[in-house]
Structure 1
Amino acid sequence: MNATGTSTVAWELLDGGVKGVAKKYSQDRGRALTTADGRAVVLTVADGHGSRAHFRSELGARWAVEAFTDSARIYAHEVVRRGQDAANWPRLLAEARSLPQQVVHAWRRRVLIHEANSPAHGGNGNGSGSADAAPGGTAGSAPEADLAVYGSTLVGAVITERLLVCWQLGDGDIVLVDQDGTAHMPFYTGPDMGDETESLCEPEAWRKARLHWQPLTGGPPPGVLISTDGLSKSFADHEGFLAFATGVRSRAASHGVAAVQAQLPDWLGHAAKYSGDDATLAGAIPAPGPGTTPAHPLTDTH
């Protein structure tokens, strides 16, 4: 941040999604936006589970993105306001760790409101799923809502000039691409071994959220790409997916982010043909100019 209090980093955004082959509609949702007068970016994608047991998961994904965006905007403003002073980072880290619980509670409240008016398994819709119920349950003696019907994963990030913070619950991918083309995934633990994934619909789901906290000091910041797993599953191996992410930033540098955004639907559509799944991406690419570079990342996996 310069002497006038404005950020020295400008961000250009990517945002797109396509439905999987032979699917009637996409279970994914995503969003990319700037906030705090352009000094912060919020990225998020959610992937509704989509199976017969999760027949309202497109709603769950939509509300996951809304709940994360609401909480992340508030957090981003606090990071912009207090993040310049490293003495404030321990407190901001503690707030980052508490954000998933806020998001899960907000998501469940929205699900329960919908259940109260339109029960997933029938009923008179007379409010049996009260929005005032404790998260994960309903009020009084009414039957408990089936949250699994709305099951969804969630991946999100907040980026400012001084800090990069990422969260993940369930499958999906976050790729950080440095200016020199080096790409890495803070939460990558190896190839997926099946279709089971952690979900917002699980009891105390926030306890399973993973956190990546990364101060940014000196030099240009990384580009940040987050996506549902329908994109990464379209590649033959992990290295191919990283090469795609590196290519996105390289093409943005050579042709401009607007050109990449224009091609994004075609790229995602091509991926969906191979994976058969919905594919959604949200990203932030730092515009050319002075900025910051990664240092001392902290990744919380529990």
Structure 2
Amino acid sequence: MLSSLGEVDHGVADLLGFGLFLVLSRVFLLVAGIGLLANGVVVVRREGMRVATALVGVVGLGLLVLSMAVRDMVDPDAGWLSTVAGVIVVLGAFLVVQLVGYTGYAVLYARRSRAVGGEVLVVLGCGLDGARVTPLLASRLDRAVRAYRSAVAAGADPIVITSGGRGPDESVCEADAMADYLVEQGLAESRIVRERESRTTEQNLRYSAAAARERGLLREGRRMVVVTSDFHVLRAAMLSRRLGLRARVIGGRTARYFVLTAFLREFAAFVALHLRTNIALGVLLILPAVLGSIAVLP
């Protein structure tokens, strides 16, 4: 239809095409925003209320705001709000493109086949619901149990390091709750080391490596096997390299209801990891719009 109109008046066809793009963009943002809000409710109910579990709901609200920004961007009566809306849309599109690229690479990286045998298994914490191991954390621990049994079957006598301190909304240290879970699954208490000080993934890795070295477990040429969730494998591997650790990273499967939250959380951490670069790129993207608006001010 647009092509036939274009034969008569290219301007009309272009205007209709742009209008259709705006309408579809707003519909997509509204639907996606409402969907993320609904998923956020499910995640909080199953995993408990924490900053990480609330993230998907916050992003849902952000998409709803972005849908309004798309409307105001082309409103001739919006004035300076049109410029603000344009900045929001440009930055939103920049983040969405990065999110898609990061997620795709993370999925492919996590699915690469890799050996899991090793003498030191480090399980990264990811928060408790009070004193309870959440389904997400249980998935990591179950993956560690399989890796442990595989190493034993290969003739090794591995040590498992549970890594995680006590958060402000937790009644026990993550490391203790994780170790208790592993004992319930049949691992001997004597084969478990509890690292109770870490609060971040970087600290998980650094403090666990230090605990392994203190016990003489990381002899030259040995690698740790880091156990986390599949969505977290890429960032854990990046941080391991940054810290100079020899580590293989493997991931447990993430429940479907948590996938959106998981990748949004990882992407937020990835952006923070390269914050200066992202700020610089964002400024370069919005600078033309801001300068253009200043130029036309009376």
RCO comparison, higher one (Cα < 8 Å, 6+): 1
- Name the one with the larger strand percent: 1
Verify same fold: TM over 0.5: no
TM-score range, shorter chain: under 0.3
TM-score (norm 1): 0.25
- Name the one with the larger helix percent: 2
The higher radius of gyration belongs to 2
